[in-house]
Amino acid sequence: MGRQPEPHKRAELLEKAVDYVLEHGLQGLSLRPLAQALGTNARMLIYHFGSKEKLVTEVLEAAQARQRALLGELGGEATDPYAALEAFWRWFSSPRLAPFARLLYEVEVGAMQGQLEYQGFARRAIHGWIGFVLQSLPGSTPAQASLIVGTLAGLLLDGLITGEWERVNGAFGGFLEVLRAGSRG
């Protein structure tokens, strides 16, 4: 008895919060501006999510789920592993994916600085991408997959900061070249 719960309200707030965090980042995130952008107030955010920390945790997981859904755009029609890698790079370095990458880097830096709530998330993300490369490129080793993920992460960071995509894309092209030549040697 009593009034029925309305879980869709909470879900809508969460999705809008993901939008906001993808745009503004986690760094200076504050409940009151966030709530105002969501058409509510800080009181309701605490009511629905318990605390700011729990809200951030849910936002991170929801953002990750959203990115995984976008991963479906990467059809498996690649002919060879190098074409698959190039498609993956083009997908990940596209402007639409940039907010997700920025958010992940933010979490990773937080993890590096010892924030425990980010450490598990960051490690899982790294292992997840390495696992994705491992299964996308049959026959690859963990060392090779770690190299690929690390290189792409480093180049993407460069591009997101400098915006010098010709240079960064050239570097990625060089990476593909040495990978090809290395497999022949």
Partner DNA sequence: TCGAATATGTAACATCTGTTACATGTAACT
Partner DNA sequence: AGTTACATGTAACAGATGTTACATATTCGA
Gap between the Cα atoms of 113 and 107, Å rounded = 10
The window from 33-41, 65-73, 104-112, 139-147 that contacts DNA (CB under 7 A) reads 33-41
| Sheet strands (E) in 38-170 | none
Q: Per CB under 8 A, does 123 bind its own copies? A: yes
- Residues 23-62 interacting with its own copies (rule: CB under 8 A): 24-25, 27
CA atoms within 13 A on the CB side of 26: 24
Q: Per CB under 7 A, does 29 bind DNA? A: yes
CB of 120 to DNA, least distance (A): 19
According to DSSP, residue 73 is labeled G
CA-closest candidate to residue 63, choices 14, 30, 132, 122 = 14
Gap between the Cα atoms of 84 and 136, Å rounded = 8
CA 58 to chain centre: 14
CB of 110 to its own copies, least distance (A): 7
Q: Per CB under 7 A, does 57 bind DNA? A: no
The window from 29-37, 103-111, 117-125, 129-137 that contacts DNA (CB under 7 A) reads 29-37
Number of residues that bind its own copies (CB under 8 A): 52
Question: Which residues contact DNA (rule: CB under 7 A)?
Answer: 1-7, 9, 28-33, 40-44, 46-47, 51-53
